[in-house]
Structure 1
Amino acid sequence: MRTSLSRRLRQAVANLMEIPKDAILDLPRITIIGGLQLYVENHKGIVEFTDHRLRLALNQGEMIILGKHLVVKSIFSKEILIEGEIDGIQYVH
């Protein structure tokens, strides 16, 4: 219950102050370039990685990236760049 109230409060503040929700709510920001590159901000780490599937932990849930010849080109504490043939992205709550 406390988490829900805190989240609603942060969302109200973001709306009121016109702050991007990804910044205040720690949501993932995803940039995809032509199905060949995927950049994700605000991830919590790699859960599973193969050349056709990548699972990223998020603040709430996971993101699953499906494709072929997937490669992690760079990874930092909250940012990751993936290259390959990206076929799909799933968000699992």
Structure 2
Amino acid sequence: MKRGKNLAQRLTLPQEVVSQGPLAELHGNTSVCIENHGGILEYTDTRVCIAVQRGTLTVSGCGLRILRMTQRRVEIGGTIRCVEVS
């Protein structure tokens, strides 16, 4: 982990990119992209729970839908009200 942190600092990259930790990118209140996820745990039109390293990332809102999903990245669209990590 320390090695990844030092590399991220030298390359001026976010530590999450190097360490494989979750990285959430919010685009207004209409979409969120989560990188380095571990899969979908719960999926409804008001709540999406995603496994991430050391916990769960929960997106709450209305009209939620999975726009794109790969092994590394998931993009959720809809009206986003809350993004929470626990």
Residues 18-27 or 61-70, more deviating = 18-27
Q: Which runs of 5+ in 1 are unaligned?
A: 1-6
Higher-Rg member (1/2)? 1
Aligned sequence identity (%): 23
Aligned length: 86
**Where in structure 2 are the equivalents of 1:13-92 lying within 5 Å?**
13-16=7-10, 18-92=12-86
From the two aligned structures, give the one with the greater helix fraction: 1
From the two aligned structures, give the one with the greater strand fraction: 2
TM-score of the aligned structures, taking structure 2 as reference length: 0.86
Deviation for aligned residue 1:29: 1.7
CA–CA separation in structure 2 for the residues paired with 1:50 and 1:78: 21
